Amino acid sequence: MNLSAISNPLINRVNWFACINETSLASDQTVPLEAAFLNRKTPAFLFTFLYLVLPNLPLLVSTRTLGATSHGYINLEYLLIGALGIFLPRGVVFLLLCLDSLADVAYTICYTFQFSLEDMLSSIRYLSMLPRSRVLEGLALLVLVLLVCAMLTILRPRPEKHLWTVCVLVGLVILLAPVDLVSGQNPLGHRDLAILSYRVARSPVFTLLWREKNEVRANQALPNGNGWGAVPSASSGAVQFLKSRPGAAGPNVVFILVESWGLMTDPHLAQALDAPYSDPRIVSKYKVISGTVAFTGLTVPGEARELCHSSVGFGIIDDTAGHAEQCLPVYFHEHGYQDIAIHGYVGEMFYRDAWYRKLGFDRTFFEPDLKKSGLPTCRGAFPGVCDASIAHWIGSSLLSVDQPKPRFIYWVTLNSHIPVPEYPDLPDDGVCVTQPALHQSAPLCSLFRLVRGVHQSVQQMALGATARPTVFILVGDHAPPFSNPRLREQFSSTQVPYVMLIPKEIPAR
């Protein structure tokens, strides 16, 4: 066998590959693979387009998965970071993008749930109490945000297009910023009429700082500077009624804060929602009083408003010392009542198990306690004990048994928390088919059914046998924070409804 005939072609091929490799190394001896990737230049138009569109993807995903509300389609601050980042180290650009992304998420949460920045930051401690599915969705969103920031950090336009790219990005900011101001969607414009239904642009850092400045100014204007001054509430009407009957025997008082029961702008739907109190059996037994009350914030501020007639909001969680005497539990306790608080979720959420006691409640019932009594669980944003079963339990266990003391029962409903399940754990009554506005929107239909289910349950409770006359008061905590602006427009942004059922016959003491 001729070995040279075999070895020569192999040697020639090795020499050829070596030649190619040496040529490659000679052309770029100091550039490793990752550096070569980072040094790739992006066409200027593509660079601008990606900074205009890509940062909005996480927010779009959050509106679908977490029920967050988008308030502005284009992040102007990202455009400015893109223009400035052309001349900055990539590490600095990544840091700026991450910080602005965190501000964007914070702004979205504050806008959706009407939190102040301080309220939102203090609520982080309750993340472990959220349903696991929502925690995982939040973590997935965080990963997506980091990927977007990393991708934008890698981008660099061609050197000859640096000035052109900067001019385009800054020009977009100058062009888009006045749109919301002129259309009435920017609070700096102080317009009472909005020309556009949606906000075009957003500036999360600027808006958070602006909101915080207004929050500080508003707190300084409050009585005593801390929000513990008196504000109008639905519960004050019940107190006034009891004060007007000093010679009457103390009736039971059932006060119900209804989750996401907002004032519907369609009067026909609003009337259909609380129709159970127009039932002739209710009218013959109770005097029905209805009205509205102003609200700010979400559930905990609603609790502060109704329990303590206060605008202290989330401050009620940590700042109850010296103020409990102005709250309902102390008032009813001083008038010979036993005070009971009920909520279908775990008591650790927003530390209700702690500050309910500080306010003076004698007994509290949360999800574990109610489950021990055999009450079932319903699906929802916060899976917990079903509202209808709690109403039945109150009627059969707390109101039907004669007690030496009247009872003040405070109940915060749960199942209508946004986002609501498409198919609630309720009997299908076909109500949404008869109402075109409900038939066209599954979320609105579900919320309507869940809130009306509470009213129907209270109607049955009010018609049931009670050991002593009972006053029922129901009030919304806030308007439902739908992510869809068209759904939010179905409810007043400043008022929530209330209904009070007063027994027509209350015996004297």
Give the span between the Cα atoms of 172 and 175, in whole angstroms: 5
Q: Which residues of 245-273 are buried (b: 16+ CB within 10 A; e: fewer)?
A: eeeeebbbbbbbbbbbbbbbeeeeebebb
The reported pLDDT for the residue numbered 187 is 55
Average the pLDDT over 407-433 and give the result: 88
Quote the CA–CA distance of 236 and 115 in Å, as a whole number: 25
pLDDT at 20 over 50: no
Largest Cα separation within the chain, whole Å, is 125
154 vs 29, 39, 77, 149, 221, CA distance in Å? 22, 8, 18, 9, 48
At 235, list the tokens.
């519960």
H-only helix segments in 114-191: 117-123, 132-154, 162-183
Distance CA 408, CA 332 (A): 7
Domain definitions of the chain by residue range: 1-28, 33-219, 247-417+454-503
Reply yes or no on whether the pLDDT at 259 is more than 60. yes
Least confident of 14-28, 117-131, 171-185, 345-359: 14-28
Tokens of 14: 């090795």
In CATH, 247-417+454-503 is 3.40.630.30? no
What pLDDT does 416 receive? 94
Distance CA 13, CA 3 (A): 16
Q: What is the pTM of this model?
A: 0.75
Q: Above pLDDT 70, what percent of the chain?
A: 81
User: Within 13 Å of residue 504, how many CA atoms lie on the same side as its CB?
Assistant: 8
C-alpha 445/C-alpha 453 separation (Å) is 12
- Residue 296: the pLDDT is 87
pLDDT of 170-221, one tens digit each? 999 998 888 766 655 555 554 444 455 567 888 888 888 887 777 666 555 5
Per-residue pLDDT tens over the stretch 220-254:
555 544 556 678 899 988 888 888 776 566 899 99
Is the confidence at residue 121, as pLDDT, over 60?
yes
Provide the pLDDT for residue 412. Answer: 98
Q: Is the pLDDT of residue 376 over 90?
A: yes
Averaged pLDDT for residues 379-390: 92
